[in-house]
Amino acid sequence: MDLFKKTENLEKVETTKAAGIYPYFHELETGQDTEVLIEGKKTIMIGSNNYLGLTSDDRVKKAAIAAVEKYGSGCSGSRFLNGTLDLHVKLENALAKFLKKEAVLTFSTGFQSNLGIISAICGHGDVIVGDKENHASIYDACRLSYAKLLRYEHNDMEDLEDTLKAIDQNKGILIVTDGVFSMGGDICNLPEIVRLAKKYGARVMVDDAHGLGVLGKHGRGTAEHFGLENDVDIYMGTFSKSLASLGGYMAATKQVIEFVKHCSRPFIFSASITPSCAASALEALKILEKEPERVENLKNISNYMRKGLIAAGVNIIESETPIIPIYTYDDIKTFQACKLLMERGVYVNPVISPATPVGMSLLRTSYTATHTKEQMDYAVSQIKEVLEILEVI
């Protein structure tokens, strides 16, 4: 059989394009902000992960420009060889201090961070225990590691304990979980995960991609939110969300970081993040430290939107985070809702099966510290009208 035969199986894509409701790859003509220009239309953006509103901050942009002028556009090599700048080290040291960890190591992307961390730390004979709703990068990292993967039901601590009980305690065990789950917006039960890890001799890794800048008084993430900063062995995070850049990191002890530096193939054999990415992430981190009120602003605007949607009769998944999923149930109606909202100047993201169970499709909305109440009021009114038109509410 021809290897490319599978590429002909694009019926769903072709059908939605023909119907004019294909919701992906829209072209933005401006930078990420609370309002953007998409294909010539002014649009309220409630579908990005620009949680602190720093991608359009002049200080961040100036830092990126200055880095290009000093270091050039790229590093032309891996961190392991010629690609380590003093700027990378400054960023790592600043992050380690902020996160209250001994050391930090940066990676080229958030996805690659999980690949590089888990495949280095875990191997043949080890066991990884993960939440079923963990990010796709964690699943791919587990495959790359050759460790055995055991999954527990989403945020089900009884199932987690049953899983841990059955593991040979002579094996190395890593419990890995999202801090904030990217689709549902809910938070992991970190206190119970930590308790069970101690009971069964496991290590804990938290993917805090959607937690940094979002949770905790200072925005340090899920562990700060629960007062457990000394009980998580490895933090993983990204720069592409709250820190307004591109790249990822791990935070751990110096010993663990040194091991990953010298054993992680995704780290060793990838080019380092560009000077502009490193500089913009570092500047965004400085702003987060100087302006912790952004974290509170994010919480307040998210709660304002949450209350507005509930008052409008919109069925949402409730959480404490700026991710607010809205039930649309049917895949086609989800695409139709995205199209109608875009026409009305509101951008949202579709989430359909198999990313959700059949019949439980969603509009994933997410918010920014710099959104205004006026923008939220308009978005609520348009979401309500569109869902009424589609007979979802």
pLDDT in tens, 321-369: 999 999 999 999 999 999 999 999 999 999 998 888 889 999 999 999 9
Considering the candidates 210, 225, 333, 339, report the single residue annotated as catalytic. Answer: 210
Q: Are residues 179 and 249 in the same domain?
A: yes
Q: Are residues 8 and 156 in the same domain?
A: no
> In the structure encoding, which two tokens stand for residue 290, read together?
């100087």
* Percentage of the chain modeled with pLDDT above 90: 96
| Full DSSP string of 204-253 | EEEE-TTTTTTSSTTS--HHHHHT-TTS-SEEEEESSSTTSSS-EEEEE-
Summary mean pLDDT of the chain: 97
- Catalytic residue at 148? no
CATH number at residue 26: 3.90.1150.10
Q: Are residues 37 and 69 in the same domain?
A: no
Q: Are residues 105 and 141 in the same domain?
A: yes
CB of 383 closer than 8 Å to CB of 328: no
At 138 the pLDDT is: 98
At 356 the pLDDT is: 85
In sequence order, the β-bridge partners of residue 351 are: 362
Q: Are residues 203 and 317 in the same domain?
A: no
* Chain centroid to CA 215: 13
CATH number at residue 218: 3.40.640.10
Q: How confident is the model at residue 12 (pLDDT cuts 50, 70, 90)?
A: confident
Tell whether the model's pLDDT for residue 259 goes beyond 90. Answer: yes
pLDDT in tens, 101-144: 999 999 999 999 999 999 999 999 999 999 999 999 999 999 99
What is the rounded average pLDDT of the residues 155-182? 97
- Catalytic residue at 270? no
At 353 the pLDDT is: 85
The candidate with the shortest Cα–Cα distance to 247, out of 29, 64, 81, 35, is: 64
At 341 the pLDDT is: 98
Tell whether the model's pLDDT for residue 75 goes beyond 90. Answer: yes
Scanning the structure block, which residue is given the tokens 């308790």?
195
* Percentage of the chain modeled with pLDDT above 70: 100
Show the DSSP H helices in 240-314 as ranges: 254-263, 265-268, 275-290, 293-311
Q: Are residues 114 and 153 in the same domain?
A: yes
Sheet-wide strand order for 349-351: 323-329, 361-366, 349-351
- Catalytic residue at 241? yes
Domain finish residue from 274, 290, 306? 290
Q: Are residues 378 and 278 in the same domain?
A: no
CB of 104 closer than 8 Å to CB of 95: yes
Q: How confident is the model at residue 1 (pLDDT cuts 50, 70, 90)?
A: confident
Structural domains counted in the chain = 2
Q: Are residues 134 and 229 in the same domain?
A: yes
Q: Are residues 155 and 101 in the same domain?
A: yes
Considering the candidates 241, 333, 339, 371, report the single residue annotated as catalytic. Answer: 241
Give the structural domain span for 383: 3-56+292-389
Domain finish residue from 255, 290, 325? 290
Q: How confident is the model at residue 255 (pLDDT cuts 50, 70, 90)?
A: very high
At 354 the pLDDT is: 85
> In the structure encoding, which two tokens stand for residue 49, read together?
């992960």
Distances from the Cα of 261 to the Cα of 76, 110, 238, 252, 269, angstroms = 18, 16, 18, 12, 11
Considering the candidates 182, 240, 272, 366, report the single residue annotated as catalytic. Answer: 182
| Cα gap 393→389, rounded to integer Å | 9
Show the DSSP H helices in the chain as ranges: 11-18, 58-71, 86-99, 110-121, 136-145, 157-165, 190-200, 222-226, 254-263, 265-268, 275-290, 293-311, 331-343, 373-389
Domain finish residue from 257, 290, 323? 290
pLDDT in tens, 178-219: 999 999 999 999 999 999 999 999 999 999 999 999 999 999
Kindly state the DSSP code that residue 159 receives in the 8-state scheme: H
Q: Are residues 7 and 88 in the same domain?
A: no
Q: Are residues 24 and 171 in the same domain?
A: no
Cis peptide before 354 (omega within 30 of 0): yes
Q: Are residues 201 and 308 in the same domain?
A: no
